[in-house]
Amino acid sequence: MSSRTIPATLIAGDGIGPEIMESVIEILDAVGAPFAWEKHLAGMAGVDAVNDPLPKETIESIRRTGLALKGPLTTPVGGGFKSINVTLRQEFGLYANLRPTKTIIPGGRYEDIDLVIVRENLEGYYAALEHTVPANGDPKGMALSGGYVTRQECDRIVRFAFDYAVKNNRKKVTLVHKANIIKQMSGMFLEEGRKVAEEYKGRVEVDESIVDACAMRLVTNPWQFDVIVTTNLFGDILSDQTAGLVGGLGMAPGANISDKAAVFEAVHGSAPDIAGKGLANPLALLLAAVMMLRHIGRQDLAERIDAAINSVITSGKVRTRDLGGQAGTKDLTAALKQALN
């Protein structure tokens, strides 16, 4: 077993977070992953313990380690505190959200899916430029939401996607936009994207799609996609859609990356409907931990865990309810540990 030499921040999160994190840590420990965890709070767990959804110790830890594994965090709907996920992205400039989708469960509606969504994480409509104004006799009768993109950020995110394609032997990048209607904001993304694509000519193929058409193409023929790069809101929606192609949110990992830090997480939320019941599927968070192992150059450990996931899920004997089985979180964890070579 290797020694724990790489400091990393660990945030168990809310709802099902602690249960799935326990499972993931058990498996990381079983392969001897070299992380020296700094355990910290965020989200409702932070509010409950220290009345702060993002304590400064948590931020300082991520600043020190530059590496974090994060469980889902509950965000109050409507009022309450701002999404901690969004705040973390802004604090560490985590501009690139990488969301891979790969078929693991055989016999589903879509076999052999293998695509990646690169979502811009800081701008667009998630900039939270929101306010209300009077309308129809109601002082808050109209709600306004503003989005923005910058030329620099459009260039950076599309470049990230093309670089990712080159490094990971991917053949094609699709620029997804709505420049026909949102002519300035989405138009700038497309314009900058085309410029970047030009630099990769001959190495990576470029393709373009309007977001609504892309949503349809993802259902009719998802195999035509390889890497998709798009702005914040479109990326958020399309990545849930692609998760649906391969068995749902329980199988979808993600990474938030900048040159300052990398935060790995599941795409799904805190699933309050099943929290504390021992039913949650830990695979999305485990797949995020696998991405984290690759990020630190431990392909060997990543491959061992990937192989165990494949063998357990393919055999079909131990699956959680969201995947059509009867197993609980602990049953799946035990089966995965047993399948590790």
Q: Which residues bind to ligand NAI, rule: CB under 6 A?
A: 16, 20, 72-75, 85, 249-250, 265, 268-274, 280-281, 284, 322
- For the CB of residue 331, give the shortest distance to ligand NAI in the complex, in Å: 13
Helix (H, G, I), strand (E, B) or coil at 81: coil
Q: Which is nearer to ligand NAI, 23 or 209 (CB)?
A: 23
| Catalytic residue of the set 212, 260, 277, 317 | 212
**Which of 157, 156, 160, 177 shows the shortest CA–CA distance to 168?**
160
| Catalytic residue of the set 95, 110, 125, 126 | 126
**Which of 244, 239, 240 shows the shortest CA–CA distance to 229?**
239
CA distances from 79 to 75, 198, 269 (A): 9, 44, 18
Q: Are 32 and 1 spatial neighbours (Cβ–Cβ below 8 Å)?
A: yes
Reply yes or no on whether 178 is catalytic.
Answer: yes
- For the CB of residue 192, give the shortest distance to ligand NAI in the complex, in Å: 27
- For the CB of residue 16, give the shortest distance to ligand NAI in the complex, in Å: 6
Residue 155: Cβ-neighbour burial (10 angstroms; 0-12, 13-18, 19+): middle
Q: Which is nearer to ligand NAI, 43 or 222 (CB)?
A: 43
Reply yes or no on whether 240 is catalytic.
Answer: no
Q: Taking CB positions, which residue lies at the least distance from ligand NAI?
A: 269
Q: Which is nearer to ligand NAI, 165 or 290 (CB)?
A: 290
φ, ψ at 97 (rounded to 5°): -110, 115
Reply yes or no on whether 126 is catalytic.
Answer: yes
| Catalytic residue of the set 226, 236, 306, 322 | 236
| Catalytic residue of the set 95, 110, 164, 178 | 178
d(CA 49, CA 114): 41
Reply yes or no on whether 52 is catalytic.
Answer: no
Indicate which residues carry an active-site annotation.
126, 178, 212, 236
